[in-house]
A = this chain, B = another copy of it.
């Protein structure tokens, strides 16, 4: 089982003429950073989009996603807790399965209403994590790009995982405010911060996870800088910071 983190530009066509190496996408939430990329995929190219019914409803209610026409794009619901074998638009197996699980989070920013403060760090179909497996093997890894809190259910699920990609948005909860770049805490944005006393490094430490990588990292997070004390602290804690082009094998 190999995982690649790629900038889209690094994906080369396999054939001359039009081609795309992208067979589909599994959406982990409905926010712009998870769904707007759908608008830049090759038009009229067969794709399979997997998401929870909730996120599929968000797409269906938004006319701009009509560019993903039903002639070319299959939209497939994934139920929480059920393993789904991924397949291309035409049903060809991709050799991967996903199991989705809800994680503490919130509704997409653009769908927030006045009551949002009362609906933070809640579990719903709005924000999910994925267990991704190679079909027919025991090989698996976890992909959790947005997570507002580590609760008992999530801890149980991640225990002894061989590999985890996890939300590394902010170093500390008030980072955007301190930098004068925003008015929201990480908690308000739906993200557990890396370095807080109850943050992701501390909360995930006792779970025996073999390899841990931060992804979804905001450009204010000092651990992005190779020579920062924060980067050294992350590495000393047994984490890695993912980068474009990284390849992993299990």
Q: Chain A: residues with CB nearer than 8 A to chain B?
A: 17-18, 32, 35-36, 39-40, 44, 61-67, 109-111, 179, 181-182, 219-220
Least distance between A33 CB and chain B CB atoms (Å): 9
Q: Are A32 and B182 in contact (CB under 8 A)?
A: no
User: Can you sample 29 A-B contacts with CB below 8 Å?
Assistant: A17-B179, A17-B181, A18-B179, A18-B181, A18-B219, A18-B220, A32-B39, A32-B64, A32-B67, A35-B64, A36-B36, A36-B39, A36-B40, A36-B64, A39-B39, A44-B181, A44-B182, A61-B63, A62-B62, A62-B63, A63-B110, A63-B111, A64-B64, A65-B110, A66-B109, A66-B110, A66-B111, A67-B109, A67-B110
Least distance between A36 CB and chain B CB atoms (Å): 4
Complex Cα–Cα for A104 and B219 (A) = 42
Give the interface SS of chain A, mostly helix, strand, loop or mixed.
helix
Least distance between A186 CB and chain B CB atoms (Å): 15
Chain copies in complex: 2
Residue of B nearest to A35 (CB): B64
Question: Which 7 pairs from chain A and chain B are nearest by CB?
Answer: A66-B110, A36-B39, A67-B110, A32-B39, A63-B110, A64-B110, A18-B181
Least distance between A14 CB and chain B CB atoms (Å): 16
Least distance between A150 CB and chain B CB atoms (Å): 26
Residue of B nearest to A9 (CB): B9
Complex Cα–Cα for A62 and B58 (A) = 11
Residue of B nearest to A109 (CB): B67
Residue of B nearest to A110 (CB): B66
Taking CB atoms, residues of chain B closer than 8 Å to A35 are: 64
Complex Cα–Cα for A32 and B64 (A) = 7
Complex Cα–Cα for A219 and B64 (A) = 22
Least distance between A169 CB and chain B CB atoms (Å): 13
Residue of B nearest to A220 (CB): B18
Least distance between A13 CB and chain B CB atoms (Å): 11
Taking CB atoms, residues of chain B closer than 8 Å to A182 are: 44
Q: Which interface residue of A17, A64, A110, A182 has the most chain B CB atoms within 10 A?
A: A64
